[in-house]
Chain A
């Protein structure tokens, strides 16, 4: 499209997002000899992956030789309350070890066992110590390793470019995207044979979140508008342990490694309350006394698992209940105590960034005092529906990997399974997109009208002389989602959320932004709000329809799990492709699991 009015680039494979999944996809596509580019909203190396702390789950068996992919598969499916795409869980469990070893070849330096292998640590829901890690900054190690590999391969990386819309050809195939440079405000079109979404999650629509500003749900929203199907949007993971005080850092992540390394949860009365919250599904494998639980840390055959290491949904609900029952701390959390259980040297060596974070931001020395923590919006199990082997979405030319994709984690993700998801399915998306780009089935042009429409919409807030401040809308949206689509839901609140989201949709049509187009954060927020509102709307609608409690979706009006609803995903599609348009929902049956995999789930613990 040489006559286009905008800056224009052409690639075989275009990746939107430069976190773990996007970078791993780029490496794979580039290794296959294709012309590849990565586009990111931020600078390279700043993506949300950098904040991951605990580790990468992979059944390497370096600490417990009895570990293998079958156990990892089983743990993942149980953690996901069996709503997972079984094939994704299977591929993930089988391929994660190779993906971790590969990182070492590219320069990653993991912590070691005494005999020089990659050390693995315990985490919630994993039967064996399984997380490859570097202290409590594993995400930084992952992103830096992949970033350095991508750069050394000479891959084109376009930084600080906000993508507004995917563009398609006349036959509905995805053919690229349109966005603008944050530094100049000028628009740019990327034409590509295949596009991979690797844009992460959407925590910025909630008030208290572990997520960075970038997590505005862009990928899922753009996929929806381009005709793709979203599933599992009701499943939102609230991480049990976020900081609660000072308010300035409320929601900030406190790694699960604190519990994996021996930390315990106590209420204001000092009681180790998690023993009161062991659900039947996990009773057989969970310790029933403090004595038994404490033996387990040293030797997993000497006792059963401590209840603090139940999957995240279970622990977050328990903390919520304790606080609501009046047994919380002065700032509305509970205590996470490692100070009384491990030596200061051990804590500083294993959890250096937690030590640093509490010392500098809260004035708390975690080697001497307990931390005050509470649940915080952390991760989205839902997103774009993909085909497990190729990461293809339901729209030709569009692929998705990492948090933006759905299915791998079912109703609840286990800690450590996210970083492994990024590298396993990042690689598969890179391969899938490369094969598609080379197949001759790809689009060769795109609809200029879609580009013009996106540009016009983006410029509108700058052209209004009076109207809403985008920051006011964002704040109101965050407060509304926190209250009405939070950790415990009910029909009244969800209906109110759906109504309110219609109001937000209207308000967002009247935003007026001050200033020009050059690095203007107000304008940037105005262009993020359509995806934030779209994602929130899909989340609220799916949550109102799932009339049961399962994983990261708890309904106080439907507290039980409904076996019939365990057979379906709620699948959402846009009716007209407009961001402010309606969505339709259908029940979509889960894939039928082969008998040999079913047998793995039924094995005794």
Chain B
């Protein structure tokens, strides 16, 4: 049986250091298995978040050898030889060991104006597969917040958190803006308060997304076009102030400039 050296960051808001563990490895194990071995033996108080261990809940986010990843979906045999470092997500305040305070994301979630759907017709809404597919891509999001973690706008500048929603919420806004039923208009909000303009499309978020959502190409860039076009078109601005126009299809909303 192979052995592996794990360097796990341990500490709290006041600081911490790496603690080394040598662990026996079984075939097919992921980083989270190894963390569980450590908990069950050497360090029962090693703090980490996890729920499903199947890549579906997005709880066990951490930085493995410096890269933001899900611990449950990172196979040990996919990592290079040598010690494996596991550190908490850098963008969020430390609670303890690998657990961070991700409440920033829940504050942002509460700011999102909800879907505004027309009254349901007899027998339910009619929507077509091609119209729901764009939104479905964004709704694959498991809220692991790895995109938030890697985004340099908030990773390197704590002060930006006050006026920057981050990639996870840009796909949420994109999903709502492209939703076939939605009648809300969030464009001014996205531009003025959610800081979409800070994103300079380096695509780091797309690279770390465990659900392979094309965050930059399919959500942020179309959202930028939509918001900017609306902002610089005085007629469109006036129109928005006077009436709320329902969008006809997700495809229209996604690729065409606002009216």
Contact = CB atoms under 8 A, between A and B. Distances in A.
B46 A361 contact: no
B251 to A, nearest CB: 14
B232 interface: no
Contacts of A246: 26-29
Contacts of B102: 43
A530 to B, nearest CB: 18
A111 interface: yes
Contact of B47 (A356, A471, A519): A519
Contact of A212 (B52, B112, B117): B52
Which of A42, A46, A518 has the most CB atoms of chain B within a 10 A radius of its CB? Answer: A46
B185 to A, nearest CB: 16
B56 A116 contact: no
B190 to A, nearest CB: 17
Contact of A248 (B29, B47, B106, B113): B29
A362 interface: yes
Interface in B96-139: 96-97, 99, 101-102, 106, 109-110, 112-115, 117, 120, 123-129, 132, 135-136, 139
A120 to B, nearest CB: 12
Interface residues of A, number: 68
Q: Is the interface of B mostly helix, strand, loop or mixed?
A: loop
A534 to B, nearest CB: 22
A51 B57 contact: yes
A213 B54 contact: no
Given A46-B58, A212-B57, A134 B139 contact: yes
A115 B129 CA distance: 9
Contacts of A118: 124
Given A51-B52, A471-B40, A45 B143 contact: yes
B49 interface: yes
A361 B28 CA distance: 7
Given A117-B126, A248-B33, A522-B39, A148 B139 contact: no
A248 B44 contact: no
Interface stretch (A29-37, A100-108, A418-426, A561-569): A100-108
Which of A118, A362, A522 has the most CB atoms of chain B within a 10 A radius of its CB? Answer: A522
Contacts of B55: 353, 356-357, 360-361
A95 to B, nearest CB: 15
B6 interface: no
Interface in A59-86: 60
A248 B28 contact: yes
A599 to B, nearest CB: 28
Interface residues of B, number: 62
Nearest to A512: B44
Contacts of B53: 212-213, 249, 252
Contacts of A144: 139, 141
Contacts, number: 180
Given A109-B135, A111-B129, A149-B114, A43 B49 contact: yes
B81 interface: no
A403 interface: no
Contact of B57 (A50, A111, A362, A518): A50
A52 to B, nearest CB: 9
Contact of B117 (A45, A105, A214, A522): A105
Nearest to A252: B54
A513 interface: yes
B75 A213 contact: no
A116 B249 CA distance: 12
B5 interface: no
Contacts of B132: 109-112
Interface of B: 12, 26-30, 33, 39-41, 43-59, 73, 75, 95-97, 99, 101-102, 106, 109-110, 112-115, 117, 120, 123-129, 132, 135-136, 139-143, 176, 179, 181
Interface of A: 42-48, 50-51, 60, 101, 104-107, 109-112, 115-118, 134-135, 137, 139-141, 144, 148-149, 151-152, 159, 183, 212-214, 245-249, 252-253, 353, 356-357, 360-362, 469-472, 475, 513-516, 518-523, 525
What are the 5 A-B residue pairs with the smallest beta carbon separation, nearest first? A246-B28, A515-B45, A522-B44, A116-B126, A152-B114
Given A144-B141, A212-B51, 20 more contacts: A46-B57, A46-B58, A51-B56, A101-B120, A109-B136, A111-B132, A137-B56, A141-B139, A149-B114, A152-B113, A212-B52, A212-B53, A247-B27, A353-B56, A357-B55, A361-B30, A361-B55, A518-B12, A521-B48, A522-B44
